[in-house]
Structure 1
């Protein structure tokens, strides 16, 4: 029972770290990265569809991205979705077949703003991990009548160690992203 609680907590914390890393990848750096556009939803025949399902994304140069739609009739909607995406600052140009996106150079103030956004996402991820720890600790407390107090105390110590490991993983990912953002 205790091992089940700890295994479930580990699995959920691992997923929280993966979500945090995925969130970090959506914050842009000085380079055009196709991953920045993965979460853009395009209104395709009335339903919001991820851009990656409607077009191929190529990165020929550091600050340029080419979007080639599979269906040419979706070209205008894709362009509109890119323009309406906040925090991107991209300027798409449409030539009738493809959309060429040029990412502007980041200013130092904009880089600092992105670092604040990433830190906020990192803090949200840490809160998620701590909430998972709290739920697991409550589950362990509920087991006190069925198993010994020493076993529960040992499991709580192990849970604290696991929590620290995953929070450290979030901090490491956060430091890497901050360094990437501040790199000129």
Structure 2
């Protein structure tokens, strides 16, 4: 009997366990981790550094990247060009007021220049430590999703909706997903660590 046929039989009996929702949750956790990493400052200017900035415009707050074009023409400078030049003061204020960035922007009436100061060795070490904490948070999120999947599979087995073999198969599938995600997290961390420590 082919594997595909066996799966179809189990589906017809209602014994199938769908791992897709758990895979989606793991992918969401990974995406959240990668987004967090983008916000960690490295020694080089990168447009993603300003992603967290919210600008007060037309009576509402909006993300800076929806109000301006952000580029990094040099390794130590960001250039912000508001789509509407009349909002330049609001853009400068929003960047300056974001304490987590510590940037001191200036403008010439058309564009905003944001100097990105070089990181000290001590600051680089702090950023690596911060990043490793984000790695641990992502791993905890993955472990929680894995535990939920295994708990749900066990409940289905106890309700006779899943055989013992199927429960083991689900466990192996979830463990494989987990190790794939952890590998991606480790690769992203190593890449970010290298960026932070490169002078």
| The two structures share one fold, judged by TM-score above 0.5 | yes
In structure 2, stretches of 5+ residues that fail to align are 1-14
> Which of 177, 180, 184 is equivalent to 2:195?
180
1:47 paired to 2:60: yes
Residue-by-residue CA offset, 1:68-87 (whole Å, 9 max, x unaligned): 11112321221111112233
1:149 paired to 2:170: no
Contact 1:69 1:75 in 2 (8 A): yes
Q: Provide the C-alpha distance between the structure 1 equivalents of 2:117 and 2:16, rounded to a whole number of angstroms.
A: 52
In structure 1, the partner of 2:89 is 76
**1:100, CA displacement in angstroms?**
0.5
In structure 2, the partner of 1:106 is 119
Contact 2:29 2:141 in 1 (8 A): yes
1:165 paired to 2:170: no
Residue-by-residue CA offset, 1:136-158 (whole Å, 9 max, x unaligned): 11211121021211211221122
SS of equivalent residue, structure 1 residue 168: helix
In structure 1, stretches of 5+ residues that fail to align are none
Deviating above 6 A after TM superposition, structure 1's stretches of 4 or more consecutive aligned residues are: none
Q: Provide the C-alpha distance between the structure 2 equivalents of 1:91 and 1:102, rounded to a whole number of angstroms.
A: 7
Contact 2:23 2:177 in 1 (8 A): yes
Could you say which structure has the larger radius of gyration? 2
- Give the alignment's TM-score, normalised by structure 1: 0.92
SS of equivalent residue, structure 2 residue 98: coil
SS of equivalent residue, structure 1 residue 48: strand
In structure 1, the partner of 2:8 is none
1:138 paired to 2:151: yes
